[in-house]
Structure 1
Amino acid sequence: MSAAIDIRDRGGPAQPLLTVDKLIKHFPIKKGLGGKKAVVRAVDGVDFEILKGETLGIVGESGCGKSTTAKLIMGLIEHDSGQLLFDGEKIGSRALPMRSFRAQTQMVFQDSYSSLNPRMTVEASIAFGPQVHGVPKRQAIERARSLLARVGLEPTRFAARYPHELSGGQRQRVNIARALALEPRLVVLDEAVSALDKSVEAQVLNLLLDLKQDFNLTYLFISHDLNVVRFICDRVAVMYLGQVVEIGPADTVLASPSHPYTAALLSSMPSLDPDNRTEVAPLAGDPPNPIDPPSGCRFHPRCSLMEPVCPANVPPLDGVGELHRVACLARQPGSGHSLAPAQQVAA
């Protein structure tokens, strides 16, 4: 695949590659000794779009629903409700069956070792996907060797090795090569560099940027490291307790966040400057229980801007700037919050 126009592009460059609309996934559980039925609201109405050729980052605390959202997109688990569109077509429909979608969308997982079959060589792991999708064995092996070279692993040295014979960084390069073997359009990277040491992480991040350019890729990049997100992402979505609370250009969101939770995440980042040390905890308390989330704004029990209007009203994800949306009553005109901007009156 080259950086030229992709013949699979049905809607042109203006149409989002992936649209996630009101996506919901609740996991049923039994609560307490009596076995009372309840649900964990892992993903509870997630909305965002990924534009063609961009890298969208998803950040948030552990348990906010980042990885579950990725698995729902990939069809690894079934969603309860909501809609997933890929290039304007509903995923799993007659126009875009799941097999066709998975040929265009691949995923790189966090654990580089458990992602690979320990009984298969590196070459066989990369060539397996194309063979399943009808590529002749010899052509699939040639593609695997070419991709190994592209991700910085000499085929003559690494093709016949097994996963246990590689380092963590080398295994993740193999996983990236395997994801590219089907010539996808969208690659979902779920904490793909978080298990690597910093020097290897930098190499893999630079590799991902080069591959994006060379193969005309679109990335969904899930991470808890805001420095990595700032480096690689064009836009960023912030999730809290199963919902997107802020989304916008990475430079805007990470430089001047509009949501108090985003600001708290940024203030929790360690600094090498001794004059800029964090002396006060940016957030108080633990994340609320996803089985019984707070009413209204789910962040209000931990928010310094909380007012009586916050637990009484659910804030919509509204625009506060160009391509910048936030779910906070303190940022929305006419919400009733004392810090809300004045509502403009039509002339």
Structure 2
Amino acid sequence: MSANDLGLPDKGGPAQPLVIASDLTCHFPVRAGAFGPKKVVRAVDGVSFTIAKGETLGVVGESGCGKSTTARLMIGLIEATGGKIIYDGQELGADLSLRELRRGVQMVFQDSFASLNPRLTIEESIAFGPKVNGVDPAEARRIARDLLDRIGLDPARFAGRYPHELSGGQRQRVNIGRALAMRPRLVILDEAVSALDKSVEAQVLNLLADLRRDFDLTYMFISHDLNVVRYISDRLMVMYLGEVVEIGSAEALYERQAHPYTAALFSAMPSMDPDARTEVPPLAGDPPNPIDPPSGCRFHTRCPFAEEVCAARKPQVVTLGEGHQVACHMHDATSGHGKAAA
């Protein structure tokens, strides 16, 4: 089922990315003393990326790197300090209203219980969005029951139940169904499976793969589990302290990590092989304070390959191959770094 089959616009054309984020910035002001300088938390600081139609972009990084803030910017839950979001060829705020954006972009959160209204039945929760947007109540209920069947919950058994009567995996299926009731083209999944046990997690991941195929969906999948990200993602974006440090195809990044931070993340993955146990921590220390981030490359304070140039200058984004980009002085022949290729 394509976007046109659902009656949705495809204004950018098939070759145009569904989403273009350009130099996205989100700074949160910090309360200071009466005479102290005004400071901000640089949660997202100049992030640029694209999401192609029908692909899954995985987003990874340590806690506090800006993954969830970027997701909330994408759906308009928080206002950007700067930058542009272009959805299907239309710029948010100039050509596209927030209301129109939310018809095409939906989000599934980590806490499946807190995301649902405890006073609404499962059918009412899924039908709520369409009804608010003018769909006839009878048709909204039909949509809800059809989606319940699609997400693997028998409408005859589950339509009249309340959230507290469902398991965590079942509630998350309902949240997915509720998002799909709005006929979105992009679904943002913010740690949507991390609270589930492994067997249920696998079922939900398979469901997401089936729904992506059946509804011609595009996903932005945020997770701390690199194995899960590899399973579901086409491309991978690695964030550190509010910036993108590396982006490329999932398979390319799993085979070769160009940025030292990406390599550290992958080295920390647990292994079932006792001979491949991690004995030395791949990364020491905590991320720096986002209120006062380090100069130059923000990773230089924890990087084993850091040189003077890393603290002095912000690295340029270098293209290593088709779609594989990294922001690191070691891959820039003009940077002056000792390990830079000539």
**For the superposition of Structure 1 and Structure 2, which TM-score range results when normalised by the shorter chain?**
over 0.9
2:155 and 2:27 map into 1 onto residues whose CA distance is 44
Q: 1:137 to 1:118 in 2, by over 3 A?
A: same
Alignment correspondent of 1:345: none
Shift of 1:151: 0.4
Q: Secondary structure at the match of 1:210?
A: helix
Q: Secondary structure at the match of 2:29?
A: strand
Alignment correspondent of 2:337: 337
Answering whether residue 134 of structure 2 is matched by residue 134 of structure 1, we say yes
1:86 and 1:4 map into 2 onto residues whose CA distance is 14
Q: Secondary structure at the match of 1:300?
A: coil
Alignment correspondent of 2:186: 186
Alignment correspondent of 1:310: 310
Shift of 1:333: 1.6
Shift of 1:339: 1.0
2:229 and 2:331 map into 1 onto residues whose CA distance is 24
State TM-score, norm by structure 2. Answer: 0.97
Shift of 1:35: 5.4
State the one-letter code of the partner of 2:22: D
Alignment correspondent of 1:170: 170
Shift of 1:255: 1.7
Alignment correspondent of 2:210: 210
Could you report, residue by residue, the CA deviation over 1:106-137 in whole angstroms, capped at 9, with x for unpaired residues? Answer: 10001000000111111001000001111110
Answering whether residue 38 of structure 2 is matched by residue 37 of structure 1, we say yes
Shift of 1:285: 1.2
Shift of 1:338: 1.2
Query: Which has the higher mean CA deviation after the structures are superposed, 256-265 or 8-17?
Result: 8-17
Residue pair 1:27, 1:41 contacting (<8 A) in 2 also: yes
Shift of 1:233: 0.1
1:120 and 1:37 map into 2 onto residues whose CA distance is 44
Q: 1:4 to 1:42 in 2, by over 3 A?
A: closer
Shift of 1:316: 2.0
Shift of 1:30: 2.5
1:291 and 1:97 map into 2 onto residues whose CA distance is 31
1:127 and 1:230 map into 2 onto residues whose CA distance is 33
2:110 and 2:240 map into 1 onto residues whose CA distance is 20
State the one-letter code of the partner of 2:223: S
1:309 and 1:28 map into 2 onto residues whose CA distance is 30
Could you report, residue by residue, the CA deviation over 1:213-249 in whole angstroms, capped at 9, with x for unpaired residues? Answer: 0000000000110000000000000000000000000
2:231 and 2:333 map into 1 onto residues whose CA distance is 33
Q: Secondary structure at the match of 1:152?
A: coil
Residue pair 1:43, 1:65 contacting (<8 A) in 2 also: yes
Alignment correspondent of 1:85: 86
2:4 and 2:60 map into 1 onto residues whose CA distance is 30
Shift of 1:318: 2.2
Residue pair 1:56, 1:233 contacting (<8 A) in 2 also: yes
Residue pair 1:127, 1:143 contacting (<8 A) in 2 also: yes
State the one-letter code of the partner of 1:21: S
State the one-letter code of the partner of 2:333: P
1:277 and 1:45 map into 2 onto residues whose CA distance is 36
Could you report, residue by residue, the CA deviation over 1:195-216 in whole angstroms, capped at 9, with x for unpaired residues? Answer: 0000000000000000000000
**Runs of 4+ with deviation above 2 angstroms:** 3-7, 30-37
Alignment correspondent of 1:290: 290
Alignment correspondent of 2:49: 48
Aligned pairs for 1:58-69 within 5 A: 58-69=59-70
Unaligned runs of 5+ in 1: 343-347
Q: 1:35 to 1:117 in 2, by over 3 A?
A: farther
Aligned pairs for 1:272-283 within 5 A: 272-283=272-283
Shift of 1:37: 2.7
State the one-letter code of the partner of 1:3: S
Alignment correspondent of 1:270: 270
2:237 and 2:4 map into 1 onto residues whose CA distance is 27
State the one-letter code of the partner of 1:109: F
Q: 1:100 to 1:263 in 2, by over 3 A?
A: same
State the one-letter code of the partner of 2:233: C
Q: Secondary structure at the match of 1:127?
A: helix
Q: Secondary structure at the match of 1:302?
A: coil
Alignment correspondent of 1:105: 105
State the one-letter code of the partner of 1:25: C
State TM-score, norm by structure 1. Answer: 0.96
Residue pair 2:3, 2:10 contacting (<8 A) in 1 also: no
